[in-house]
Each structure stands twice: as C-alpha cells, then as structure tokens.
Structure 1
C-alpha cells in the first residue's frame, strides 16, 4: 500500500513540476516532501485515513492545477478519481482508488 501511495504522489508531482529537458523527479527528490514511503507507511500502520487522504490530496491538487483545473476534460476526470479516493471509508479499501489514480496519472504524463 505504501508503495502505491508513493507512486501516486510521484506521478502527481511529475505532472506538476517535471519539464522536458530537465532532470526527472525521482522518489528521493526534495519535492516529494512528506509523500515518501516511510511517511505513508506510518499513516497506514496507524490506520490514519484522513492523514493519508490529506497527504495524497495535496499532491493531487498540484496535478489538477498542472492539467488546467476543472475546466479541462483531464481535470474533471482527475477530480472524479480524487473524489472516489476521498469517499473510501477505510484504509484497507484505498487500493482500488489508488490503482485507478496511478493508471490515470501515468497515462496523462
């Protein structure tokens, strides 16, 4: 689960900050901030659904801005997937929403 959370965060930040011709954003990049596997692991072990949603939501908000916001088709779909993530009632049920987000973010890179 932690790796999946970190991957969604990484794809979000790549979309928001990575530019062609510059060094790619990697997992150990300072931009990852609190969105690394260890932080997510702690949140998962605690069962802190709100904390996980807040951390990943911060990254998804950046990705939403990068695709042009809610006025674009990409933005509306990203918002829908984000809302699905926030509607999940337990940490153990996050995986399906995270897989959908990961696939979507990877495809729109």
Structure 2
C-alpha cells in the first residue's frame, strides 16, 4: 500500500509542478519529502486512515488545481475518485479507491 500511496503523491505533484521544459520530478526530489514511502509506511503501521487521507488530499488538491479545478472534465473525475478514497473508514477499504486514484492520475499525466 505504501508504494501506491507514494505513487499517487508523485503523480499528483508531477501534475502540479512539472513542466515540459523542466527536469522530471522523481521520488527522491525534495518536493516528495513529506510524501515518501517511509512516511506512508509509518501511517500504515499505525493504521492512521485519517492521516493517510490528509496526506493524499494535500497532493490531490494540488493536482486538482493543475487540471483546472473540480468543474473541469478531468477535475470532476479526480474529485469523485478522491471522494471515494476519503469515504473509506478502514485500511482495507482504502485499497480499491487508492488503486483507482493512482491509475487515473497515471492516465492524465
């Protein structure tokens, strides 16, 4: 799960900060500091569903801004997928919406 969480963060930050004329954002970039796998690993070990949702929400919020907000076609779907992720109450319930969110962010890169 930690890898999927880090991937969602990475794809979100790429949408928000990466431009065609700059070098790509990588997992070890400074911008990924609060969203690296070890940060998510700690939250997962604690079973901190809310903490995970907050961290992912920060990144998805940046991605939403990059695609023009929740009123655009891409933004509506991103918002819907994040809402599904946010509605999870247990660690087990995070899996399916997390993968859907990750796959969508990968597609809109």
The TM-score with structure 2 as length reference comes to 0.97
| Farther-moved stretch of structure 1 (27-36 vs 39-48) | 27-36
1:43 aligned residue = 43
Task: State the distance in 1 between where 2:70 and 2:10 align.
Answer: 21
Q: What is the number of residues matched between the two proteins?
A: 109
Give 1:21 deviation, angstroms. 2.2
Alignment of 1:9-48 (within 5 A): 9-48=9-48
Gaps of 5+ in 2: none
CA RMSD of aligned residues (A): 0.7
Matched, 1:57 2:34: no
- Provide the rounded CA distance (Å) in 2 between the counterparts of 1:71 and 1:56: 20
Q: Deviations over 1:40-72 (max 9, x none)?
A: 000000000010000010000000000000220
Compute the displacement of 1:33 (Å).
Answer: 2.5
CA distance in 2, matches of 1:44, 1:92: 11
Instruction: Please give the alpha-carbon distance, in whole angstroms, between the structure 1 residues aligned to 2:33 and 2:63.
Output: 15
Which aligned runs of 4 or more in structure 1 are off by greater than 2 angstroms? none
Separation of aligned partners in 2, 1:92 and 1:36: 21
The within-5 A match list for 1:59-78 is 59-78=59-78
Normalising by structure 1, report the TM-score: 0.97
